[in-house]
Amino acid sequence: MKTVELNRISRLLEGHLWVFSNELAISPKNFLPGSLVELVDKKGTFLGIGYVNPNSLISIRILTREKEEIDESFFKRRITDALEYRKRFIKDTNSFRAVYSEGDLLPGLIVDKYDECLSIQFLTLGMDSRQGLIIKVLDEIFSPSVIVVRNDSSVRLLEGLTLEKKIVKGNLDKLPVMRDEGLMFEIDPMAGQKTGFFLDQRENRKAFAKLVNGKGAGLDLFSYTGAWAIHLGAKGAHVTGVDDSTDAVKQAERNASLNNLSERCVFKKANAFDFVKAEAATKKTYDFVSLDPPAFVKSKARIKEAIKGYREINSLAMRVLKKGGLLATCSCSYHIDKAAFFDILRGAGRDAGRLFRVIETRSQAKDHPALLSMPETEYLKCVMMEVL
């Protein structure tokens, strides 16, 4: 294993797992893509072991701070540790994120468990080059009926990797059904966004449904496959879900039917901006709105454009709320931090001419653990508010 000297080590000493090209004493081009290297400081003191991608801005991602073999046993220990953490903190469900990249000290690896199906993403060259080994370990630990590889994230392009989707074990003749505290959601791991479902919002959906407590009628904007609406409907509320994907609307309707909530949860195919503008124009008002849009920004270069989009949709949602109405609004864009998101919401409130009281501020679910040393691992913001 080759040794790499670092010019700057302060972030690493604090526990960060990324090394950028300008922090290396020599060019990363000297190393084989995907290969393992030992990191040392200028005095030759061992700092850790990571894998290299000379073609990425993040040149090295650290796997361990110990002098140990990065082999089958290593991955088995790390994935088992990740599973034990979930067993401690994730209850009453057969589905969860089993491995969350840096949050589980396995940068570049995402594993979602949907009942007896595993959906895996290899997001970096270092993990992708160990795909066969990792799938073998996951199969041994979880013994799933189906294993899906969802290597279709655009993040892979930044690593010089191709995009693909494939089933490497079993089949999806029967789609997995997620069970979550008595509710059911049919998941298609080969279709839709991420790996088929937004597991990171699970605790936020439950918290908002508890606040609404079945009172009145409301909107679920960017409803995707209906998870927010169904949690709200299960408490007794009437919800209209809005999404511009025909497939997502059909899946949401199936999920509502699975839970006998088709009368309380109705879904419409429409652009969320256009739909709420039309509702506001007719002075239609609602008791609550859940607003969970996709990431409007995936790079620093597009932050201004994203801020404009977030502000507009939040202002529109605020305008259609009754006095005392509740809003759950979210941003999954890492490049817009918590402070920036609150600035957006204050601006949206001014635009809407409404005054809000913050009830609760939340983040991603416990199966998406954030590292204290890596702000990048905490990306989700969820704010729940009341109109005054």
Instruction: Kindly list the catalytic residues.
Output: 332
Phi, psi of 381 (to 5 degrees): -120, 135
Q: Among 356, 178, 168, 345, which residue's Cα sits nearest to residue 258?
A: 178
Tokens of 131: 């795909």
- The answer to whether residues 382 and 362 touch, using CB atoms and an 8 Å cutoff, is yes
Query: CA dihedral in degrees (5, 10, 11, 16; nearest 10)?
Result: 70
- In DSSP notation, 198-249 reads -GGGHHHHHHHHHHHTT-SEEEEET-TTSHHHHHHHHTT-EEEEEES-HHHH
Burial of 287 per CB tally in 10 Å (0-12, 13-18, 19+) = middle
Cα separation, 42 vs 46, in Å, equals 10
Task: Indicate the residue type of 76.
Answer: K
Strand partners, 55: none
